[in-house]
Amino acid sequence: MTGEQIPVAPRASNIEYAIRDVVVPATKLESEGHTILKLNIGDPIAYPGLPTPEHMVEAYVQALRDGNNGYSPSYGIPSLRSALARDEQRKGWAATAEDIYVCHGVTEALQILFAAVLCDGDKVLAPGPHYPPYMAYPQMYGATTVEYRLKPDDGWKLDLEDIKSKMDDSVRLLVLINPNNPCGSVANESEIKALLEIARNYPKCMIVADEIYDGLDFTGEHVSVASCSNDVPVVSLNGVSKVYYAPGWRIGYMALHDPSGCLHLVRDGIERMLRARLCASTPAQLGYLAGLESDRSWMKDYASKVVQQRDVCIDRIRSIEGLEVQSSGGAFYMFVKLTDPKWANDDKQFVLDLLHEEHVLVVHGSGFSPELGKGHFRIVCLPEPDVLNDAFDRIERFLIRHR
Ligand X SMILES: Cc1ncc(COP(=O)(O)O)c(C=O)c1O
Binding site for ligand X (CB under 6 A): 42, 105-107, 131, 177, 181, 210, 212, 239, 241, 247, 252
DSSP 280-320: --HHHHHHHHHHHHS--THHHHHHHHHHHHHHHHHHHHHTS
Least spacing, CB of residue 252 vs ligand X, in Å: 4
263 contact partners, CB below 8 Å, separation of at least 6: 206, 233, 256
> Residue 257 or residue 378: which is nearer to ligand X going by CB?
378
Task: State the amino acid at position 320 in one-letter form.
Answer: I
Least spacing, CB of residue 319 vs ligand X, in Å: 28
182 preceded by a cis bond (ω within 30 of 0): yes
> What is the spatial distance between Cα 215 and Cα 396, in angstroms, rounded to a whole number?
32
Least spacing, CB of residue 268 vs ligand X, in Å: 24
CB 282 within 8 A of CB 69: yes
> Residue 322 or residue 373: which is nearer to ligand X going by CB?
373
Least spacing, CB of residue 131 vs ligand X, in Å: 4
Least spacing, CB of residue 41 vs ligand X, in Å: 8
42 contact partners, CB below 8 Å, separation of at least 6: 19, 181, 242, 331, 332, 333, 380, 382
> Residue 322 or residue 383: which is nearer to ligand X going by CB?
383
> Residue 56 or residue 106: which is nearer to ligand X going by CB?
106
Sheet holding 171-177, edge to edge: 100-103, 252-257, 234-239, 206-210, 171-177, 123-128, 144-151, 157-158
> Residue 78 or residue 248: which is nearer to ligand X going by CB?
248
CB 322 within 8 A of CB 403: yes
> Residue 212 or residue 263: which is nearer to ligand X going by CB?
212
Least spacing, CB of residue 289 vs ligand X, in Å: 16
CB 77 within 8 A of CB 285: yes
CB 243 within 8 A of CB 228: no
> What is the spatial distance between Cα 150 and Cα 154, in angstroms, rounded to a whole number?
8
> Residue 45 or residue 262: which is nearer to ligand X going by CB?
45
> What is the spatial distance between Cα 126 and Cα 386, in angstroms, rounded to a whole number?
36
CB 160 within 8 A of CB 194: yes
* Helix, strand, coil % over all residues of the chain, rounded to 5: 45, 15, 40
Least spacing, CB of residue 264 vs ligand X, in Å: 26
Least spacing, CB of residue 109 vs ligand X, in Å: 8
Least spacing, CB of residue 177 vs ligand X, in Å: 5
> Residue 105 or residue 287: which is nearer to ligand X going by CB?
105
Least spacing, CB of residue 340 vs ligand X, in Å: 27
Q: Which residue is nearest to ligand X (CB)?
A: 105
> Residue 242 or residue 316: which is nearer to ligand X going by CB?
242
Task: State the amino acid at position 358 in one-letter form.
Answer: E
Task: State the amino acid at position 144 in one-letter form.
Answer: T
> Residue 184 or residue 322: which is nearer to ligand X going by CB?
184
Residues 136, 139, 143, 148: what is their CA dihedral angle, to the nearest 10 degrees? 30
